Amino acid sequence: EQRKLSYHTLYKTGQSMAGVGGGQVLAGGYFMANGQPLIDNKTGRQMYSDCPDGQSLIKLDNVKAKGVKGNTLFLVTQFEYLNKDAAGNDMYGKLPSPIGVTTIDQDPKTGHMKAVRYHNVDTSGVHGLWITCAGSISPWNTHLSSEEYEPDAFKADSDEQFKAFSLNTL
């Protein structure tokens, strides 16, 4: 049986979603290491990535999640960077890259997927991630993440991008 190719949006970056621990979470939202949201000075609102990159859709057997009626899937999304803040300033590489995990409810008959909950992965233990890029599923059915560039230690003292990143991970 042939079907017309189409897509269904699960969520958009910057969208408020139900959090795993209750309350609402901003998809792709930026946080300081202490858990406080990074706020855009012009809007007074939390900043969020406009550049999702690597993703893995993971199915684990015998997993039950609150709000899921069908198959429980987990969508791991890496957010590479924010292009510009609300004032138009270049933000590339100046914020710690978030990774989010979305709990997905998949209808076992139709395959239709619906986002149920979202949470950010806490990367404060490694002082944040910088410009996450490619992602994949490992042979062990886990998410593999990568950073696109490493900071240049020879110019770290004078690199404005790296200094901004360092200040935004405190």
169 pLDDT above the threshold of 80: no
Six-digit token pair at 131?
């410009």
Banded pLDDT at 43 (limits 50, 70, 90): very high
- Residue 167 belongs to what H/E stretch? helix 160-167
pLDDT of residue 98: 93
Six-digit token pair at 154?
């020879």
CA angle 48, 138, 67 (to 5 degrees): 55
Which residue in 78, 80, 104, 106 sits closest to 91, CA to CA?
Answer: 80
pTM higher than the cut 0.85: yes
Q: Give 11's contacts (C-beta < 8 A, 6+ positions apart).
A: 17, 27, 102, 115, 118
pLDDT of residue 170: 61
- Tell me what the mean pLDDT of segment 46-71 comes to: 94
pLDDT of residue 120: 92
pLDDT of residue 41: 92
Six-digit token pair at 94?
């100046």
- Tell me what the mean pLDDT of segment 104-117 comes to: 96
- Residue 99 belongs to what H/E stretch? strand 99-106
- Tell me what the mean pLDDT of segment 81-107 comes to: 95
Which residue in 63, 60, 76, 96 sits closest to 10, CA to CA?
Answer: 76
pLDDT of residue 127: 81
Higher-scoring residue by pLDDT: 21, 73: 73
Residues for the chain: how many in total? Answer: 170
154 pLDDT above the threshold of 80: yes
